[in-house]
Amino acid sequence: MTSTPRTTGRHRAPRRHRWIWPTVIALVVAVVTAMLGTGGTYALWNGTASTSGSTVRSATATITTGPLSAMNTAVLGPGTGVTGTFTVQNTGSIPLSMRVATTSTKVSYATNSTTTAVLGELTLRLSVVGSTADCRTGLSGASGRLAAFDTGSGSFTLAAGASAVGCVEMDLDADAPQSVAGAVADFSLTVTGTQVSA
In this predicted model, which residue has the larger pLDDT, 25 or 85? 85
Q: Please give the pLDDT value at position 109.
A: 79
What is the C-alpha to C-alpha distance for residues 84 and 125, in angstroms, rounded to an integer?
11
| CATH ID of 63-195, from 3.20.140, 3.90.550, 2.60.40, 3.30.720 | 2.60.40
Q: Please give the pLDDT value at position 23.
A: 61
Contact 118, 180 (CB under 8 A): yes
Q: Please give the pLDDT value at position 50.
A: 79
What is the C-alpha to C-alpha distance for residues 88 and 126, in angstroms, rounded to an integer?
13
Task: Please count the other Cβ atoms lying within 10 Å of the Cβ belonging to residue 68.
Answer: 16
CA atoms within 13 A on the CB side of 6: 1
CA atoms within 13 A on the CB side of 135: 24
What is the C-alpha to C-alpha distance for residues 87 and 169, in angstroms, rounded to an integer?
15
Count H helices and E strands in the chain, helices first. Answer: 2, 8
Q: Which of 14-28, 77-91, 115-129, 184-198 has the lowest mean pLDDT?
A: 14-28
pTM: 0.70
Average pLDDT, the chain: 83
Average pLDDT over residues 68-97: 90
pLDDT tier at 38, thresholds 50, 70, 90:
low
**Phi–psi pair at 85, nearest 5 degrees:** -130, 155
What is the C-alpha to C-alpha distance for residues 63 and 86, in angstroms, rounded to an integer?
13
What is the C-alpha to C-alpha distance for residues 185 and 180, in angstroms, rounded to an integer?
11
What is the C-alpha to C-alpha distance for residues 165 and 177, in angstroms, rounded to an integer?
33
pLDDT tens sequence across 126-167: 999 999 999 999 999 999 999 999 999 888 999 999 999 999
Q: Please give the pLDDT value at position 189.
A: 93
25 pLDDT higher than 70: no
Contact 146, 173 (CB under 8 A): no
Closest by CA to 192, choosing from 159, 162, 141, 151, is 151
Identify residue 164 by its one-letter amino acid code: A
Q: Would you kindly state where each structural domain of the chain is located, as residue ranges?
A: 63-195
